[in-house]
Amino acid sequence: MRAEPLAQARKKMPDRSIDMENKYCRHEGEYSWWEEDAQGIPLCRVCDKCEQLKLAQYRPEILSGYTQSDVDEPIEPLNH
């Protein structure tokens, strides 16, 4: 009996390089890049497999454009 070629065996294996529940991807065998917000601030590393999943956790205005008034919130706790 001949051993199955490695490439064929890998096709039958489940893809464990991305953990959908925890939004974690190893980017194995994939080109990956840093995705930035509309201001050019790096948000997360993505590849074609996980880009949509990872970017879904951000509000649309973060990716499309915003001003400081859109995200203005206190940095320090208010003293009451």
Per-domain residue ranges for the chain? 15-67
Backbone angles phi, psi at 25, to 5 degrees: -135, 135
Confidence of residue 22 (pLDDT cuts 50, 70, 90): low
Q: Measured between alpha carbons, how far is residue 23 from residues 12, 14, 55, 60, 74 in Å?
A: 23, 17, 10, 18, 28
Is residue 62 left, alpha or beta, with left meaning phi > 0 and alpha meaning psi from -120 to 50?
A: alpha
Residue with tokens 């973060």: 62
Q: Enter the pTM of the model.
A: 0.57
* Mean pLDDT confidence for 19-39: 84
Is 70 exceeded by the pLDDT of residue 1?
no
- Burial (CB < 10 A; 0-12, 13-18, 19+), residue 27, is middle
Q: 32-67: per-residue pLDDT in tens?
A: 999 999 889 999 999 998 999 899 999 888 898 877
